[in-house]
A and B are shown apart, each in its own frame.
Chain A
Amino acid sequence: MNNSYLKSQLLKLQNEYCDILKISKGKLTTEDFPFVIDEINLFWFSNRSLIELILNNLYNDYNCFVHTGASFLDVDNLEHFPFATIGTNHLIDDPVANFSDTMPHVLNDDFRKRLKGQIILTTEQNIKIIENYSEIIQILPIRFLNSSDRTMSQTGAEKAFLGLFKDEKLTMNDYFKKYNNIEDVSNGLREHIEDLISLSEYEEEGSLIIRFKKFVSENALSLPKDTNGAVLFSSLIIGYFMQAFDILFVSLKYPLNPYLRYPIPFHYIHLLASSMPAHLDDLLLKIKIAYTIHKIFDTDKVKDVNFECYYKLLQNNNFSSNLIKVLKQHFDNPNQAPIKEFNKLIEDELCKLYEIAGKEILK
C-alpha cells in the first residue's frame, strides 16, 4: 500500500467502526439487538463508496489476504500470527455484517440464538483487533457489500449442487418433488460423489446417510429440524457452494486472496476449482498456502513475540513472496503437489521463521 491518503481514510473508518461497536456491545444482549445491528449495517452502507474505492485501489499488488468464510479471527489464541504470515496486506471480511445479513432469513429460533451469540463474540474480537492491530489488520464488510450479486452465486451454487446427481436434466423443482429424505438423495447421487461431500469440520468417516443424520441431530440448523431431509441437505450443500462462489467472486472482483481457516469453504472452493480457468492457478495456490499455514502454524513458537515486530520481520525478509518462490521452484505444479510434501516444505520455511523470530526476542 503506498497511497497514504487512502490508507488514512481506511484507518479513520476503523476507528469510527470501533466506536460504534463499543457503544453497541452492551446493547446486543438486550431487546434492542435489531436496532443495534441496523446501526452497524448502516455504518457500512453509508461508507460503501469509500470501501469500494479502497478495495479497488490499495491492493493492486495481489498480495492482500482477506480472512473470510469464518466467524472471527481469534486473536486471544494468536490466530493473527499465521494470518499475517502470508501476504503484505491483511483484511478481515467483517463477520458481524455477514451474520446480520443472514439473520432475517433464519427460521429456526435455536439457530438464530446461536447466530446472535456469534455476533456478540465477534463484536468483542473486532474491538480487540481494531484497538490493538489496526495498522496491520483492517476489518471491512466485503461480502456484505456485494450481497446484491448473490443471484449469480445462487445460480452457480444450484447448478453445482444439481451436478452431483446422476440425472443430468434434474432441476431444483424436480429435486424437491422426487426426493423426500437423505436416503432418496443418496440413491440419486453420482457414483463416488458421497466421498466428496463434506458436511462439517469434525465429521467422522462413514456413509453420507449416517453422517447426515448425525449432523442434523448435533447441530443447530437454519431451518426447523422437522424439515424433510432432502430439503435440509440441499439447503446445507447449496449454502456451502454459495459461500464458495461468494468468496471466489469477491477474490476476482477485487485483487484479494482468501485466507480460509475452515476446511469446509476450502473444500468446496476446491470442488469448484476443477472447472476453473488456468489463469486462476495463482489464486488457488495462494488459497492453498494460506490454509496450510493456518493448519500447521505453531503459535507456541511466537507466543512471546510482539506482533508488530513479527510483522516487520515478515516484511523485511519478504517471507511471503520467498515462500511462493520456493514452492514454485520445488514443484512443477504446486497446486497438484502431494499434500505431505507441500506441507513439509511450508513447515520447513516456517521453522526458519520461528528461529529468526526467536532471535528477535533475545535482542
Chain B
Amino acid sequence: MNNAMGDRLVLVSWMRDRLPEYLWIALIIDKYDRTKALEKLYLIFKQLSEIDKEIPLPVFSQILQMEDINQKMFFDCVIEYTDKDVLAPLTLLYHYSEYPIFSKLFCNPKLTMLYRQKQLNEILRKSNPHQSNFATDIRFLVLFFLNLKNKLIFNSSMKDSIEGLSRYPYLSHDDEEMRSIRPFIRSSESMSMEMSEINNKEFLQDFWVKISIMSECELYVMNFPEEKSNTSEYIELVENIFKYFSDLFVAIAPLDKKMLVLFGIATYSYKRVREISDFKMFNSISARSTVRVIVENFIMMKYLILQEPLKSHIWDDFQEYGIGLYKAVVARSRDKNKDYSNSHIDPVYLEILVNHHKNEEFIDIDTSYFDKQNIRDKAIAVNEKDLWDHFYDYGSSYEHGLWGSIVESSLLMCDNPSHQGHYIPDVYNQQRLKNIWFDCVMIMNKTLMYLNDIYEIPVELLEKIKNYEQQLSQISTIEITE
C-alpha cells in the first residue's frame, strides 16, 4: 500500500504537524470550563475572521504573520475575552525580538521560565493524543472556523452529522451521541491544513527545535521481571540427559559421525542455555542470541536427518562445512601476519582444530549457506516454519545489531511530549528485557524430545524435563493473571 500511492502518500501527524499551530487554542480551552471556553473561542474566531478575511485557518503561524495593526487588534480581543497570562507560556517560543506585538502583550517576566515551560509541556501532553476528547474539542473549533469562513460544505445526505456538529459544544463527552460525532469531527479536520495549502514547515521546525531543547527528558524504562524459578534444577536435569548421551556415544559407537554431529549440535545448544542460567542472563541482549541459535540448531538437526537418506556423507559434509569456515579465518590471519596474542581468536589454536582430522589442504571453504539452502528453507523442509517465523527474524535483529533490537535493548524512550518520543542511550543499563527462560526450556526440550525419537532417553529423565516445562508454564500463567 505504501508503494502504491508513491509520492502522493504524505503522512501528516496531529502532534507534529498541526498541534503546534493550535496550542494557543488548547491553552484557552484548558483555562476555562469547557462550554465557557468554546464560547470564548467562538467570539475570538469571529473577530479573527473579520480582522483578517484572508486567513484560512486559526493557525498561529498565520496570526503572527498578520500586519502589526491586525495582530494588535486580534491579541487585544484575546485579552478581552480571556486573561493575559493564558498565552504567557507561548512567550517562551515567540519572543520579543521576533514577535514584539505578541510578546509585549503576553510576556509576564514574573512567571518564571520553568513555570512557563511546565505549562507548555502539560498542555502539549494533554493535547497530544489525537483522539482524546480534549484534542477533539480543538479540532472541532478548527471546523467551526472553517464554517465561519463558509469553507465547510456538506452533502445534503450528511444531515445527521451536521446536526451533531451543532450540538457538540453543548453535549458532555460522556453523552452517547458523542461517540459518533467525535470521529466525524476528527476525520473532517484531518485534511483541513492540507486543503488550506498552508506552508508552515519553517514554523513547525522552529517550534520543535525551540521546545525540545528547553526541557529535560522524562525517561521511561522497561524493567521486566527476573526469572524466579529454580533454573539450576533444570540445568541439572538436562546435564543428566547429556551425561547419558555422552556415555551412550562412548560406549556404543564412539566413531559414529551421525551421533557425534547430533550430540555435538545438541550439546552446543545445552551449553548456550546453561550460560543463561549460570550467569543469570535471562533478561539480557546476549540471551536473545542464544534463543536464535538453539532454534537454528534444532532446525539443522532435523534437516540433517531429513537429508541423510539422500546424502550418505551428510554428517561429514556438515563437519567439513564448519571446519572450512574456520580454515578461512586461519588463512586470512596468516595473510595479515599480525600479532593476535591479545585477541580471543587464536589462529594457532584454530589451526590445530582445522587440521585435527584432515590436512587443511583437503578441506574446502564454502561461504554460502550449508547445503545451499538458507535456514528459512530448511525450516520449511522440516515443518518448523512456525518456529522460524516467531523466533528467527527477531533473534537475527539482535545478532546483526539492527535498529529494532537497538531500540528495544539499548535506548530509553522519553515521555516528554516536547521530545516527540525520542530515544536516548541507556548508559546506566537500566533497561531489562523480557525473560527468555521459558522459550529456552521449550526449545531445549523440543531438541531433547527429537533426540529421544532417535536414541530413546530414559523415561524418568524425560519426564522430569517435561514436568519442569509444565510447571514453568503454570508460573507464567499465574504471573500474567496477577
Contacts of A20 in B (CB 8 A): 97
With contacts A45-B113, A104-B110 known, is A39 near B96, CB below 8 A? yes
Q: Are A35 and B216 in contact (CB under 8 A)?
A: no
Instruction: Given A32-B100, A35-B95, A42-B113, output 19 extra A-B contacts at Cβ < 8 Å.
Output: A20-B97, A23-B97, A24-B97, A34-B109, A35-B103, A35-B107, A36-B96, A38-B91, A38-B95, A38-B103, A38-B107, A38-B109, A39-B95, A41-B113, A45-B214, A46-B210, A46-B213, A104-B109, A104-B110
Residue B104 CB within 8 A of the other chain: yes
Residue on B with the closest CB to A24? Answer: B97
With contacts A32-B100, A104-B109 known, is A42 near B213, CB below 8 A? no
Residues of A33-55 at the interface with B, using a CB-CB cut-off of 8 Å, are 34-39, 41-42, 45-47, 49-50
Scoring B residues 71 to 112 as 1 if CB is less than 8 Å from chain A, else 0, what string do you get?
A: 000000000000000000001100111001001100101100
Number of interface residues of B (CB under 8 A): 18
Residue on B with the closest CB to A103? Answer: B109
Residue on B with the closest CB to A22? Answer: B97
Contacts of A36 in B (CB 8 A): 96
Q: Are A47 and B95 in contact (CB under 8 A)?
A: no
Q: Are A32 and B97 in contact (CB under 8 A)?
A: no
Scoring B residues 50 to 89 as 1 if CB is less than 8 Å from chain A, else 0, what string do you get?
A: 0000000000000000000000000000000000000000
State how many angstroms separate the Cβ of B61 from the closest Cβ of chain A.
20
Residue on B with the closest CB to A31? Answer: B104
Q: Are B213 and A38 in contact (CB under 8 A)?
A: no
| Chain B interface residues toward A at CB < 8 A | 91-92, 95-97, 100, 103-104, 107, 109-110, 113-114, 117, 210, 213-214, 216
| Chain A interface residues toward B at CB < 8 A | 20, 23-24, 27, 32, 34-39, 41-42, 45-47, 49-50, 104
- A24→B214 CA distance, assembly (Å): 21
- A30→B276 CA distance, assembly (Å): 71
Contacts of A46 in B (CB 8 A): 92, 210, 213-214
Report which residue of A27, A46, A49, A104 has the largest number of chain B beta carbons within 10 angstroms of its beta carbon.
A46
Please list 17 pairs of residues, one from A and one from B, whose beta carbons are closer than 8 Å in the complex, sorted by A's number: A23-B97, A24-B97, A27-B96, A32-B96, A32-B100, A35-B103, A35-B107, A37-B109, A38-B95, A38-B96, A38-B109, A39-B96, A39-B103, A41-B109, A42-B95, A46-B213, A46-B214
With contacts A20-B97, A42-B92 known, is A34 near B107, CB below 8 A? yes
- A24→B95 CA distance, assembly (Å): 12
Contacts of B96 in A (CB 8 A): 27, 32, 35-36, 38-39
In the complex, the 10 A-B pairs of residues with the closest C-beta atoms, listed nearest first:
A35-B96, A45-B113, A39-B95, A39-B96, A23-B97, A38-B109, A34-B109, A35-B107, A46-B214, A35-B103
Main secondary structure of the interface of B (DSSP, over half): helix
- A27→B96 CA distance, assembly (Å): 10
Report which residue of B109, B110, B210 has the largest number of chain A beta carbons within 10 angstroms of its beta carbon.
B109
Contacts of A49 in B (CB 8 A): 213, 216
A-B contact count (CB 8 A): 47
State how many angstroms separate the Cβ of B88 from the closest Cβ of chain A.
10
Contacts of A38 in B (CB 8 A): 91, 95-96, 103, 107, 109
With contacts A34-B107, A104-B109 known, is A39 near B97, CB below 8 A? yes
- A27→B95 CA distance, assembly (Å): 14
- A163→B77 CA distance, assembly (Å): 57
State how many angstroms separate the Cβ of A26 from the closest Cβ of chain B.
11
Contacts of B109 in A (CB 8 A): 34-35, 37-38, 41, 104
State how many angstroms separate the Cβ of A38 from the closest Cβ of chain B.
5
Contacts of B103 in A (CB 8 A): 35, 38-39
- A312→B298 CA distance, assembly (Å): 69
State how many angstroms separate the Cβ of B208 from the closest Cβ of chain A.
13
State how many angstroms separate the Cβ of A196 from the closest Cβ of chain B.
36
Residue on A with the closest CB to B117? Answer: A45
- A272→B451 CA distance, assembly (Å): 79
Residue on B with the closest CB to A148? Answer: B114
State how many angstroms separate the Cβ of A151 from the closest Cβ of chain B.
15
Contacts of A47 in B (CB 8 A): 213
Residue on A with the closest CB to B215? Answer: A49
State how many angstroms separate the Cβ of B355 from the closest Cβ of chain A.
50
- A178→B238 CA distance, assembly (Å): 83
Residue on B with the closest CB to A20? Answer: B97
- A20→B95 CA distance, assembly (Å): 11
State how many angstroms separate the Cβ of B333 from the closest Cβ of chain A.
36
Contacts of B95 in A (CB 8 A): 35, 38-39, 42
Q: Are B214 and A35 in contact (CB under 8 A)?
A: no
- A36→B98 CA distance, assembly (Å): 11
- A39→B104 CA distance, assembly (Å): 11
Contacts of A41 in B (CB 8 A): 109, 113
Report which residue of A36, A45, A47, A50 has the largest number of chain B beta carbons within 10 angstroms of its beta carbon.
A45
Contacts of A104 in B (CB 8 A): 109-110
Q: Which of A23, A35, A42, A50 has a CB less than 8 Å from the CB of B104?
A: A35
- A27→B97 CA distance, assembly (Å): 10
Residue on B with the closest CB to A27? Answer: B96
- A46→B95 CA distance, assembly (Å): 12
Residue on A with the closest CB to B91? Answer: A38
Contacts of A23 in B (CB 8 A): 97
Contacts of B107 in A (CB 8 A): 34-35, 38
- A38→B102 CA distance, assembly (Å): 13
- A50→B104 CA distance, assembly (Å): 28
State how many angstroms separate the Cβ of B302 from the closest Cβ of chain A.
53
- A32→B92 CA distance, assembly (Å): 16
State how many angstroms separate the Cβ of A265 from the closest Cβ of chain B.
26
- A45→B111 CA distance, assembly (Å): 13
- A27→B210 CA distance, assembly (Å): 24
Report which residue of A27, A37, A42, A104 has the largest number of chain B beta carbons within 10 angstroms of its beta carbon.
A42
Contacts of B216 in A (CB 8 A): 49
State how many angstroms separate the Cβ of A12 from the closest Cβ of chain B.
13
State how many angstroms separate the Cβ of A50 from the closest Cβ of chain B.
8
Contacts of A42 in B (CB 8 A): 92, 95, 113
Residue on A with the closest CB to B95? Answer: A39
- A27→B100 CA distance, assembly (Å): 11
State how many angstroms separate the Cβ of A278 from the closest Cβ of chain B.
33
- A24→B210 CA distance, assembly (Å): 20
- A39→B98 CA distance, assembly (Å): 10
Residue on B with the closest CB to A104? Answer: B110
Q: Are A32 and B91 in contact (CB under 8 A)?
A: no
State how many angstroms separate the Cβ of A162 from the closest Cβ of chain B.
29
- A38→B213 CA distance, assembly (Å): 17
State how many angstroms separate the Cβ of B149 from the closest Cβ of chain A.
33
State how many angstroms separate the Cβ of A210 from the closest Cβ of chain B.
39
Residue on B with the closest CB to A34? Answer: B109
- A47→B210 CA distance, assembly (Å): 10
- A20→B113 CA distance, assembly (Å): 18
State how many angstroms separate the Cβ of B139 from the closest Cβ of chain A.
30
State how many angstroms separate the Cβ of A148 from the closest Cβ of chain B.
8
- A49→B216 CA distance, assembly (Å): 8
